[in-house]
């Protein structure tokens, strides 16, 4: 896709976001509400379905184009976390679903009839130690019966489908700890009240996260995604795309903060001169700008590698780490530039400050990224 086409995507996404404005997001943050109208328009406009192949009703574009969409949403002051999983969770079905599953789900996801916005992976006692998760799915005739618990499962109350990861073979009975895990497509609406209980978690960020309890939930065997016992690969494949897209969101946040800070520093006068004339104000903003732009280059590299089908685990992780740190620092600089006004909700900065902080923790923490780089890139001993 040409630079002109990318610019057109940016322009169109920005125009859509401008129709809602930051006050829309401020009110949703106050009410802990979900941006139903925004997500619907983003879907019908084709921006949330760019990764779905044309044969299933999508645009058939790459992760790079999807990253541009996410980055522009966040730079506009919107909250992409409310809908970003619609892009990367779908990839699990696209890459690992059978023909019947792809034909059944992908066209409806592309049209907006179905929303697939949740990964059911994290558990209270295991966190990112995925291979030790405790939720079990036992085969019983034409069904799998699921028992267990998940936590920090975002957007589940606003999803029709969820990709769930559970053990189908006990950890002690497999040779490799990544074996014996299986992925399933869960019909959330049918499951709720029939073995699935959803409890919202009140948290610092309006991410619509919940705790899930499974008590003899029956999932049809035909909803197995990929091979039984090979579900870890199903989830892992989606994680690189997830990291790249969230890194792009962080770049959008960083650019948002820099836009705000530089504009305020230029307009705000103290002691008879713009505060941006002072190097103590100007230089931190300029430094943050360089760090955010450098992070974007890593996002671009990881996205291009993903789209070319090249291994990009290291690049996706580095993009996510660098972008999350750059956006957090840019947010801190923006807060400092605005002084006391940064804490006023009407300026919107404190909301975005809270939102971007999450990404040094989720979907993977900075320390785990460093351990990955140390072990798998630098060939040092495993650190845990």
Q: Helix 279-307 and helix 231-267: axis angle, to 10°?
A: 150
Query: By C-alpha distance, which of 197, 338, 342 is closest to 281?
Result: 338
* pLDDT computed for residue 47 by the predictor: 95
Angle (nearest 5°) at CA 152 between 148 and 31: 130
pLDDT tens-place string over residues 19-63: 999 999 999 999 999 999 999 999 999 999 999 999 999 999 999
Fold (CATH) for 3-111: Butyryl-Coa Dehydrogenase, subunit A; domain 1 (1.10.540)
Structure tokens at 67: 């990253």
For tokens 């919940």, the residue is 210
Taking the C-alpha atoms of residue 355 and residue 140, their distance in angstroms, rounded to an integer, is: 42
Taking the C-alpha atoms of residue 339 and residue 145, their distance in angstroms, rounded to an integer, is: 55
For tokens 């705790």, the residue is 211
Structure tokens at 231: 């579900």
pLDDT tens-place string over residues 91-109: 999 999 999 999 999 999 9
Q: Which residues on neighbouring strands pair with residue 165, listed in sequence order?
A: 183
Task: Say yes or no: do domains 3-111 and 116-230 share a fold.
Answer: no
Homologous superfamily of 233-377 in CATH? Answer: Butyryl-CoA Dehydrogenase, subunit A, domain 3 (1.20.140.10)
Domain boundaries, the chain: 3-111, 116-230, 233-377
Share of the chain above pLDDT 70, in %: 100
The residues, any chain, with a CB within 8 Å of residue 335's CB and separated by 6 or more, are 342, 343, 349, 350, 353
What is the band of 237 on the pLDDT scale with cuts at 50, 70, 90?
A: confident
Taking the C-alpha atoms of residue 117 and residue 85, their distance in angstroms, rounded to an integer, is: 5
Contact call for residues 181 and 132 (beta carbons, < 8 A): no
Rg (CA), the chain: 21
Contact call for residues 269 and 321 (beta carbons, < 8 A): no
Q: How many helices (H) and strands (E) would you count in the chain?
A: 13, 10
Contact call for residues 292 and 330 (beta carbons, < 8 A): yes
**Number of Cβ atoms within 10 Å of the Cβ of 88:** 25
Fold (CATH) for 116-230: Butyryl-CoA Dehydrogenase, subunit A; domain 2 (2.40.110)
What is the band of 1 on the pLDDT scale with cuts at 50, 70, 90?
A: confident
What is the band of 294 on the pLDDT scale with cuts at 50, 70, 90?
A: very high
* pLDDT computed for residue 71 by the predictor: 98
Contact call for residues 76 and 253 (beta carbons, < 8 A): no
**DSSP H or E run through 182:** strand 181-187
Contact call for residues 67 and 303 (beta carbons, < 8 A): yes
Integer CA distances (angstroms), 285 to 193, 232, 303, 332, 374, in order:
51, 42, 27, 10, 31
Mean pLDDT of the chain: 96
Taking the C-alpha atoms of residue 164 and residue 245, their distance in angstroms, rounded to an integer, is: 21
Contact call for residues 254 and 327 (beta carbons, < 8 A): yes
Residue 240 has pLDDT above 80, yes or no: yes
Taking the C-alpha atoms of residue 285 and residue 97, their distance in angstroms, rounded to an integer, is: 46
């Amino acid at each position: 896709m040409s630079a002109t086409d990318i610019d057109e995507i940016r322009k169109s996404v920005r125009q859509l976001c401008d129709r809602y404005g930051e006050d829309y997001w401020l009110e949703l943050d106050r009410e802990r509400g979900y941006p139903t109208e925004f997500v619907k328009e983003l879907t019908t406009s084709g921006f949330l379905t760019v990764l779905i192949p044309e044969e299933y009703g999508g645009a058939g574009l790459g992760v790079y184009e999807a990253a541009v969409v996410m980055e522009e949403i966040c730079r506009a002051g919107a909250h992409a976390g409310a809908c970003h999983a619609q892009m990367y969770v779908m990839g699990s079905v696209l890459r690992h679903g059978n023909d019947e599953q792809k034909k059944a789900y992908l066209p409806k996801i592309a049209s907006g009839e179905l929303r697939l916005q949740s990964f059911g992976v994290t558990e209270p006692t295991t966190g990112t130690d995925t291979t030790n998760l405790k939720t079990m799915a036992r085969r019983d005739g034409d069904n799998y019966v699921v028992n267990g618990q998940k936590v920090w499962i975002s957007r589940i109350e606003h999803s029709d489908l969820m990709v769930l990861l559970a053990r189908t073979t006990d950890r002690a009975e497999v040779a490799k700890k990544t074996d014996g895990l299986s992925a399933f497509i869960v019909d959330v609406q049918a499951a709720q009240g029939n073995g699935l209980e959803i409890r919202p978690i009140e948290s610092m960020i309006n991410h619509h996260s919940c705790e899930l309890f499974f008590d003899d939930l029956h999932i049809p065997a035909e909803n197995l995604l990929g091979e039984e016992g090979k579900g870890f690969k199903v989830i892992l494949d989606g994680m690189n795309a997830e990291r790249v897209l969230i890194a792009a969101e962080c770049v959008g946040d960083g650019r948002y903060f820099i836009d705000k800070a530089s504009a305020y520093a230029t307009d705000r006068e103290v002691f008879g001169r713009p505060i941006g004339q002072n190097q103590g104000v100007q230089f931190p903003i300029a430094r943050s700008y360089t760090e955010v732009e450098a992070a974007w280059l890593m996002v671009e590299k990881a996205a291009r590698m993903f789209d070319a089908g090249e291994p990009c685990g290291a690049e996706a992780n580095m993009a996510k780490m660098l972008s999350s740190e750059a956006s957090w620092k840019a947010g801190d600089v923006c807060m400092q530039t605005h002084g006391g006004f940064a804490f006023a909700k009407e300026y919107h900065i404190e909301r975005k400050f809270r939102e971007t902080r999450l990404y040094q923790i989720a979907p993977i923490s900075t320390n785990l990224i460093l351990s990955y780089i140390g072990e798998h890139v630098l060939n040092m001993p495993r650190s845990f």
